[in-house]
Structure 1
Amino acid sequence: MLRLRSSILAHLLSSSSASPNNPSLRHLLSATAAPRISPNPSFAVGDYLVDTCGLTRAQALKASVKLSHLKSPSKPDAVLAFLAGLGLSSADVAALVARDPKFICARVDKTLSSRFAELTGLGLSRPDTARLLWLAPRPFRSSTIVSGVQYYLHLFGSCENLFRTLKYGSHLLTADLERVVMPNVAFLQERGLIDCDIAKLCVNVPRMLATNPERVRAMVACAEGLGVPRSSGMLRYALQAVAFLGEKEIAARVDYLKKTFRFSDAEVSIAVSRSPFMLRRSKESLQLKSDFLISEVGLEPAYIARFPAMINYNLDGRVRPRYYVVKFLKKNGLLDRDWKFSTIFKVSEKVFVEKFICPHKEAAPHLAQDYAAACRGEVAARLIFA
């Protein structure tokens, strides 16, 4: 019987035509949800998770601990049929169950179907609601998800923005809306962040709004302590940089920047306030960029401090190849003006090619090829020794 049920469910999960209106699906839902089914002495949770839900043996072993009370496939069968009706693939179902094993114990009639109807009632499409279920299965079982989703849709402006945040965890949908989230949003708004800033902040720091308000205030104080003005567009980036870092760790990173780039106290303050995300760069990355910008390009620390964004650019895929191209053009008298390195490194790839590659096709026919190779890490000798 278990093998027969597994094969039926596997067919439903792999069928793209499965829907709640499918007669076979309705029959399976009613059959598997019937309370008259008694515990099955031969039912093994681990085998069910592998054979019917598609989990690996290791995943099933871990999930079984949370399902030791399960004595019958009745509820799980109904849940799997419900998920198939929403269009979730067998791989989606396996991933969902692995993340939240208790989901297969939910009541379809009183919980899942009701929640689905409430969320589509907010204006979510069926596919969006199914995606929300997959991203946040645990919160989906709670009635509080409805008010939460309604609030976040208004704050973030779209389902897609909310989903981008939920990809990194469902913290937002499990946090207390009135005691935690709303006070955090209000405080960030007081500091000049508008709703789209807060949405972008949440994508990069998903736990921000779900964190204790006192801690969020401390993070904002640290960000402002870097010299980023209140109501500045840079505040969001500063918050991303210092989020969940202690004051000692922030001080240590600022000190490393100062030593690595030979900044004075004033220069490191200017650099960090203009490009706070430098604080998130690895020591190895910072050292390599310092060696190149100061030792090879010959830039002064004061210049780098004024234009610190160049520290965040990709060294091998952007900064180094562009430097070699410009050096080649200067050496061969092909530049009509003296370009600042801050501009050379900053412009988009399209603009760089238009300004520094295309005009020299005749004078330097190999330049485009050499530049492309340099971006791949294969620097031609004629660029280096030009």
Structure 2
Amino acid sequence: MLRLRECVVSRLLSWPSTSPICSLRRLLSTTASAAPISPNPSSFAVEEYLVATCGLTQPQAVKASKKLSHLKSPAKPNAVLALLAGLGLSGADAAAVVAKDPRLLCAKVDKTLAPVIAGLTGLGLSSPEIGQLVSLARTRFRCRPVVPRLQYYLPLFGSFDNFLRLLKRESNLLSIDLDKVVKPNVVFLRECGLGDCDIAKLSIRVPRMLITNLERVRAMVARAETLGVPRRSGMLKEALQAVAFLSEEKIAAKLDYLKNTFRWSDAEACIAVRKYPCVLKKSKESLKRKSEFLVSEVGLEPVSIAHRPVVLSLSLEGRLRPRYYVIKFLKENGLLDRDPSLYSAVNMTEKVFMKKLISPHKEAAPHLAEDYATACKGEVPTNFRFM
């Protein structure tokens, strides 16, 4: 084992100083003193090592040790822990990695992990970024295909951060066959008019989109077309997000609910979905409450809402109701030169809304800004105060 350790160290010494691996040379001596190699291999206690050196809890150590029963010394684990420290992982982060993938401690640093890290460094990833990848990729980090897969994904997603966002939501991303699954899906989506930026955003919102089979992706596009959103439409990305993995029966049921809730005809429901496909993803309770407010309280015509369905994407408590009460207050007190529609008012940015409808009335309605702020917290006062 001592000869093995000397071999590992000698291989690591050949790495350039700019590599994440170079820190191993400094860290190995520390880990060696913390957990010396026993002259009697049979005396190596895996559970004790996992708790004392790796930082696992006792239950975690008991579970992990079942996969490490063949370990007879801390030589490989020490080298792996030094590698993780060199990548910037804290003790707690390293413990989490080991708990998820105990067999990582058995990996050969020089023959398995170092080449992967060298490949990722060649793609432009920094040590902290590689450390993040280790934490999320689990067993797949130990496989060399991780490098060519990152080489494909990074340009597609535009940045490492975007890739990580998807990996956090879909841990199987690095294990799916690129040539048989991912690339055909990407090619088809491009043929439908989506750019790489659109594909990246769609995949982050619908993580399974890239890793499902091509026929299912084709079926999703077909359902979007049935709803009136054709290929190469600017709304296709939103439509795919809305219908992804929904059966035709569930989509039909949601359309029926929309028609009943907003008193829409078939044609009006189609207009609303075509203009705002994600209305299909809204909860029934949310839609019911917005219908009661917009139709029953505000008095908007159902057909009007169908032609401006984006209003259904806005928060009832945080935007629709507070801004409606501001407009209502200003109208009742004769403070409006022009009569803005609710649609224009709720679509303004907060800065523009304050500038156009709150600030001009500081003297006539000194409490308006305060009452509006209160309303935005969901605490709508019975009446906005005039004085």
What TM-score results when the alignment is normalised by the length of structure 1? 0.87
The residue identity in structure 1 corresponding to 2:208 is R
Task: Please give the alpha-carbon distance, in whole angstroms, between the structure 2 residues aligned to 1:295 and 1:37.
Answer: 82
**Are positions 1:345 and 2:339 aligned together?**
no
Task: Please give the alpha-carbon distance, in whole angstroms, between the structure 2 residues aligned to 1:211 and 1:384.
Answer: 56
Alignment of 1:161-310 (within 5 A): 161-310=162-311
Does the CA contact (< 8 Å) of 1:171 and 1:206 recur in 2? no
Task: Please give the alpha-carbon distance, in whole angstroms, between the structure 1 residues aligned to 2:188 and 2:385.
Answer: 52
Q: CA deviation at 1:229?
A: 2.4
Change (3 A) 1:78 1:261: same
Does the CA contact (< 8 Å) of 1:32 and 1:73 recur in 2? no
What are the Cα deviations for residues 263-286 of structure 1, in whole angstroms up to 9, with x where unaligned? 111111111111111111111111
Task: Please give the alpha-carbon distance, in whole angstroms, between the structure 1 residues aligned to 2:50 and 2:21.
Answer: 23
**Are positions 1:158 and 2:176 aligned together?**
no
Of 20, 23, 28 in structure 2, the residue corresponding to residue 21 of structure 1 is 23
Change (3 A) 1:309 1:124: same
Change (3 A) 1:36 1:183: farther
Task: Please give the alpha-carbon distance, in whole angstroms, between the structure 2 residues aligned to 1:90 and 1:216.
Answer: 42
Task: Please give the alpha-carbon distance, in whole angstroms, between the structure 2 residues aligned to 1:228 and 1:66.
Answer: 51
Does the CA contact (< 8 Å) of 1:32 and 1:75 recur in 2? no
Task: Please give the alpha-carbon distance, in whole angstroms, between the structure 2 residues aligned to 1:58 and 1:98.
Answer: 10
Task: Please give the alpha-carbon distance, in whole angstroms, between the structure 1 residues aligned to 2:370 and 2:165.
Answer: 38
Give the match for residue 136 of structure 2.
Answer: 135
What TM-score results when the alignment is normalised by the length of structure 2? 0.87
Change (3 A) 1:245 1:258: same
Does the CA contact (< 8 Å) of 2:205 and 2:241 recur in 1? yes
The residue identity in structure 2 corresponding to 1:215 is R
Change (3 A) 1:64 1:224: farther
Q: CA deviation at 1:35?
A: 10
Q: CA deviation at 1:371?
A: 0.5
Alignment of 1:320-359 (within 5 A): 320-359=321-360
Task: Please give the alpha-carbon distance, in whole angstroms, between the structure 1 residues aligned to 2:309 and 2:384.
Answer: 26
Task: Please give the alpha-carbon distance, in whole angstroms, between the structure 2 residues aligned to 1:263 and 1:145.
Answer: 51
Change (3 A) 1:269 1:384: farther
**Are positions 1:40 and 2:42 aligned together?**
yes
Q: How many residues align?
A: 368
Does the CA contact (< 8 Å) of 2:36 and 2:74 recur in 1? no
Structure 1 residue runs of 5 or longer lacking an equivalent are 1-17
The residue identity in structure 1 corresponding to 2:75 is S
What are the Cα deviations for residues 15-42 of structure 1, in whole angstroms up to 9, with x where unaligned? xxx9743654133578999999764345
Q: CA deviation at 1:358?
A: 0.9
Larger mean CA deviation between 87-96 and 367-376 belongs to 87-96
Q: CA deviation at 1:49?
A: 3.5
Does the CA contact (< 8 Å) of 2:23 and 2:83 recur in 1? no
The residue identity in structure 1 corresponding to 2:282 is R
